[in-house]
Each structure stands twice: as structure tokens, then as C-alpha cells.
Amino acid sequence: MTEELRIAIYAALLGLVQLCLAAWSPLGVAGYLRWNVGPRDTAFDVGPIPGRLRRVFVNFMETYVFFAVIVIALSLVNRSDALSVWGARLYLIARIVYIPCYAFAMSYVRSAVWAVSFFGILATACCLLF
């Protein structure tokens, strides 16, 4: 197994953690449990931090699919090198850092950390393309 695939698995586990954070963080909000077990026909205001944790998970899902496809392709064509490993590590570390940055509304820092994770995807993709 390549290092990039191992990192993709760690990132998938991070996604599961984020899913749990998004699902469990609003449990203390009055009326949420009743809404959650119902048909969910209307939106429910879970509050700032649980709402941010939900959005950070959605954001993760928007980037992870690209990262995973690139890493799998790298493995299939045996193009792993130092840059692809570095890019994969950068992606994972930035995605970990992104969670508290988003949850605690660190606006400019959050955007910079997102850019770092995106750069990690690009660095990994460069090894596939060039």
C-alpha cells in the first residue's frame, strides 16, 4: 500500500469523525432530537457551532472525493514520489487544522488553511499529470 493510500484512509477516518461531530453536536439543542427523528421537512436551527461542524463536514466531502480519486490513480499507475506523499500529508494535516478553524469562526485563518489543503491536492495531482 502506498503512503498516499494510507493517508487517504486516515482522511476517510477523519471524515467519519467529522460526521459524528456534525451529528452529535446539536443533541443538546432543545427540540433537535424530536426534529431529527421526524421527517425533517423543515430546516432546524442547531446554533452556531453545531451548524459550523455540519458545514465543515460538507466542505470535507467536497474535497475528499477529488483527493481520493487522485490518490487511487497514483497507486494504479505507480507514480508515487516525494511530492505526492508531501501533498497528501499536507492535505490531511490541513483538513485536521481546518475543523477548529471553522468551528470557532477563525475566518481568515480558516480560508488560508483551506487553501493549504487545496494546494496539497494540487501537489499530489501534479505527480499524476507530469
pLDDT confidence of residue 67: 98
Q: Which domains does the chain have, with CATH numbers?
A: 3-129 (1.20.120.550)
What the block records as the C-alpha cell of 84 is 505526492
- Separation CA 120–CA 108 (nearest Å): 19
Residues 88/1, Cβ–Cβ less than 8 Å = no
The answer to whether the predicted template modeling score (pTM) of the entire model surpasses 0.85 is: yes
Residues 106/50, Cβ–Cβ less than 8 Å = no
pLDDT confidence of residue 60: 98
Backbone angles phi, psi at 29, to 5 degrees: -80, 130
